[in-house]
Chains A and B, each alone.
Chain A
């Protein structure tokens, strides 16, 4: 029987994350976007909060609470404000790459510098058919030092040794934003991983974005319901018109479904299941659609108010799309699941008799 409950410890952690997000982040969303970083007061609190190290092994300086716990905490924070998360959560999406790096000393150096706040890391997927001139976007603070790049099943670690280019991006302005040509980096290591491990690394990066996107989608749904329950058109609240009520119900179901697949995939990493990378990629694909839908409906049902910065609907719409293009984007994810789908058994029926 699958237990969907959070453990008391995790519930406590979730509640702490929620308090932090509601009291420190939510009131300062636009100021943080304008400043290009979360407020120092928030960052100071986060120093004592085990965000970055939650899914990092103890041997690398983390607290090893697991991917499930990380997903829950990310969703909780993103529900209040996701804009500074890429900057604040280190090694964040690259935690899987750090854990998979065969060079233990190098992995420890990367994890240590990320966790102590002195360095930022980023993750990118390169299509072997297409190649890449550099990294298109990474958080701008703290200074970007490490770039994990996967080309096929080859994992490479680049250290940024030259200048980075400040870049304006679609979303996550409170994380800053830089781009880096490969010529401004030094290759510190390169390893060809077994296919399943390589997919796990990409899956961990996708899981990070998917967990954040669930929080964004839930926040969009919350605001839409609140606004449309209050505003009256054609004689009744916007939400009470059947067409809109159906849209909201559909959106709520998709957000709920998205949360389930994210937590299920996160749990599969924690349980050491061999197909965790596949399920995390499937979750990412599910969530990118659900988050697009929730944030799109969010703007739509707010009408013109959804398009202006007085509300957060437009911010969430941008953030959902930004996440949908990370880790190589849609093509990379669909190539990954297509390459492995025939080898992955049904999660439930595989234990039963073969037909």
Chain B
């Protein structure tokens, strides 16, 4: 039993109500049209006007240093959002994955400059983070986007060249945190993060990806061609990187986003479970053999989801109490996606032939959940992280 404080319960109820009226219908529509909701969708304005809830939905609004940091609450809200539609939840206005990067790495001036725009509740705004490249996905240390310092005057000037892909919400973002390297030969030590604002010359969105599922949010590719940035856009300032914190900072971002990914998976698995349970109640006679088999399968689904939830709560608790959660964050991310995929597949098996129909929500969920095992570090990367930590293997 997980006890919820009164405010968390209220917020979950709030999300649940929005889930019914907006999040799920928007997700179904986005799936049907293969287009995420437009930036001026009324729901984004509703969310923006409600202020903090928006960011809490994606678990990314508060500083780990704040005394009232409520990551558990945020993650539970993230789970509930994904229950209704993870794609739409990821499309909600806010700093997105750029938020943790800014908070972990940014100077006070940068945090003020780039995060304060979200305090303006009159307009929906987005932030984003870009790490993956066409030739560097799981192996983020191999990124090739090049950052060259071209001037030391006025705090310095930088030029970025390269290409990024699979970047969520970047086509609608006010700014994107872009990871680049000053010299690929330096490996992780050469990594630098820049905040690239929309409209900066040389920054151009070249493609919105067509995905199998999770169509509620856009995934874009962009190029940087002689994209000139002020030294003020170098996240953390040069001193931060002289202390060789670059790559570690980028990885620290994932120590919170991986458990959040797990929370999303639990939400999606619950959605599949509930759909199948309703089907069993409506269609299968109380004493029939189908019902018994289905209930045994539903119990197995619940077991896996309960375990996954404990894993993400544990990883978040470690972070909340100031302990390292590298291993536990990867444990959660490694365990959850196959369990959730099995949950949806099992739910489809319960429906039988009817499961292939798009008007049954499970067909969409089956296409949606596969991304859980890829984004934020694939299953294989999690194994790599865990094995390296556990066996004290050297870094590659």
Judged by a CB distance under 8 angstroms, whether B306 is at the interface is no
Q: Are A234 and B396 in contact (CB under 8 A)?
A: yes
Closest partner residue, chain B, to A306 (CB atom): B374
Q: Are A167 and B357 in contact (CB under 8 A)?
A: yes
Q: Are B285 and A136 in contact (CB under 8 A)?
A: no
Closest partner residue, chain A, to B360 (CB atom): A136
Contacts of A310 in B (CB 8 A): 209-210
Give bound CA distance, A171 to B366, whole Å.
12
Contacts of B345 in A (CB 8 A): 292, 321
Please encode chain B, from 1 to 41, with 1 for each CB lying within 8 Å of some chain A CB and 0 for all others.
00000000000000000000000000000001000000000
Given A170-B367, A325-B349, A329-B355, A300 contacting B209 (CB threshold 8 A):
no
Residue of B213, B353, B357 with most partner-chain A CB within 10 A: B353
Q: Are B374 and A304 in contact (CB under 8 A)?
A: yes
Given A308-B209, A317-B212, A329 contacting B375 (CB threshold 8 A):
no
Contact of A304 among B137, B290, B353, B384 (CB under 8 A): B137
Q: Are A179 and B352 in contact (CB under 8 A)?
A: no
Q: Are B132 and A234 in contact (CB under 8 A)?
A: no
Q: Are B357 and A309 in contact (CB under 8 A)?
A: no
Give bound CA distance, A169 to B348, whole Å.
13
Give bound CA distance, A299 to B293, whole Å.
30
- Considering only residues 261-301 of chain A, those with a C-beta below 8 Å from chain B are 292, 296, 299-301
Q: Are A317 and B370 in contact (CB under 8 A)?
A: yes
Q: Are B166 and A309 in contact (CB under 8 A)?
A: no
Judged by a CB distance under 8 angstroms, whether A331 is at the interface is yes
Closest partner residue, chain B, to A128 (CB atom): B288
Please encode chain A, from 220 to 242, with 1 for each CB lying within 8 Å of some chain B CB and 0 for all others.
00000000000111110000010
Q: Chain A nearest CB: distance from B172 CB in Å?
A: 19
Judged by a CB distance under 8 angstroms, whether B284 is at the interface is yes
Contacts of B32 in A (CB 8 A): 168
Give bound CA distance, A319 to B380, whole Å.
24
Judged by a CB distance under 8 angstroms, whether A307 is at the interface is yes
Judged by a CB distance under 8 angstroms, whether A314 is at the interface is yes
Q: Are B138 and A129 in contact (CB under 8 A)?
A: no
Chain A interface bracket (under 10, 10 to 19, 20 to 34, 35 or more): 35 or more
Contacts of A335 in B (CB 8 A): 289
Q: Chain B nearest CB: distance from A262 CB in Å?
A: 21
Q: Are B363 and A170 in contact (CB under 8 A)?
A: yes
Contacts of B341 in A (CB 8 A): 296
Contacts of B137 in A (CB 8 A): 233, 303-305
Contacts of B358 in A (CB 8 A): 167-170
Q: Are A130 and B283 in contact (CB under 8 A)?
A: yes
Q: Which DSSP category, helix, strand, loop or mixed, fits chain A's interface?
A: mixed
Closest partner residue, chain A, to B291 (CB atom): A129
Please encode chain B, from 279 to 316, with 1 for each CB lying within 8 Å of some chain A CB and 0 for all others.
00001110011100100000000000000000000000
Give bound CA distance, A249 to B142, whole Å.
27
- Considering only residues 339-360 of chain B, those with a C-beta below 8 Å from chain A are 341, 345, 348-349, 351-359
Contact of A332 among B288, B352, B370, B383 (CB under 8 A): B352
Give bound CA distance, A235 to B139, whole Å.
9
Q: Are A303 and B290 in contact (CB under 8 A)?
A: no
Q: Are A322 and B356 in contact (CB under 8 A)?
A: yes
Give bound CA distance, A140 to B96, whole Å.
42
Give bound CA distance, A301 to B380, whole Å.
8
Q: Are A299 and B374 in contact (CB under 8 A)?
A: yes
Judged by a CB distance under 8 angstroms, whether A38 is at the interface is no
Q: Chain A nearest CB: distance from B224 CB in Å?
A: 19
Contact of A325 among B284, B285, B348, B371 (CB under 8 A): B348
Judged by a CB distance under 8 angstroms, whether A328 is at the interface is yes
Give bound CA distance, A125 to B354, whole Å.
11
Give bound CA distance, A292 to B132, whole Å.
27
Q: Are A308 and B210 in contact (CB under 8 A)?
A: yes
Give bound CA distance, A32 to B6, whole Å.
54
Q: Are A308 and B357 in contact (CB under 8 A)?
A: no
Q: Are A129 and B289 in contact (CB under 8 A)?
A: yes
Q: Chain A nearest CB: distance from B110 CB in Å?
A: 29
Give bound CA distance, A233 to B137, whole Å.
8
Contacts of A328 in B (CB 8 A): 352-353
Q: Chain B nearest CB: distance from A279 CB in Å?
A: 22
Closest partner residue, chain B, to A126 (CB atom): B353
Given A167-B359, A309-B212, A325 contacting B290 (CB threshold 8 A):
no
Q: Are A325 and B355 in contact (CB under 8 A)?
A: yes
Q: Are A137 and B290 in contact (CB under 8 A)?
A: no
Judged by a CB distance under 8 angstroms, whether A318 is at the interface is yes
Q: Are B357 and A169 in contact (CB under 8 A)?
A: yes
Q: Are A318 and B374 in contact (CB under 8 A)?
A: no
Judged by a CB distance under 8 angstroms, whether B379 is at the interface is yes
Give bound CA distance, A308 to B375, whole Å.
13
Give bound CA distance, A262 to B261, whole Å.
39
Q: Are B139 and A318 in contact (CB under 8 A)?
A: no
Judged by a CB distance under 8 angstroms, whether B63 is at the interface is no
Judged by a CB distance under 8 angstroms, whether B165 is at the interface is yes
Q: Which residues of B contact A (CB under 8 A)?
A: 32, 132, 135, 137-139, 142, 165-166, 209-214, 219, 283-285, 288-290, 293, 341, 345, 348-349, 351-359, 363, 366-367, 370-371, 373-375, 378-380, 383-384, 396
Q: Which residues of A contact B (CB under 8 A)?
A: 124-125, 127, 129-130, 136-137, 167-171, 179, 231-235, 241, 243-244, 292, 296, 299-301, 303-310, 314, 317-318, 321-322, 324-332, 335
Given contacts A304-B374, A307-B371, could you give 15 more A-B pairs where the C-beta distance is less than 8 Å?
A: A129-B285, A130-B284, A136-B354, A137-B357, A168-B357, A169-B363, A305-B137, A308-B212, A309-B212, A318-B212, A322-B356, A325-B348, A327-B353, A329-B351, A330-B349
Query: Which 6 A-B residue pairings sit nearest by Cβ, starting from the closest?
Result: A329-B352, A314-B212, A168-B358, A233-B139, A129-B288, A309-B210
Q: List 18 A-B contacts (CB under 8 A).
A: A125-B353, A137-B353, A168-B358, A169-B356, A169-B363, A170-B355, A170-B356, A296-B370, A303-B138, A304-B165, A304-B166, A307-B211, A307-B214, A309-B211, A310-B209, A318-B367, A324-B349, A329-B355
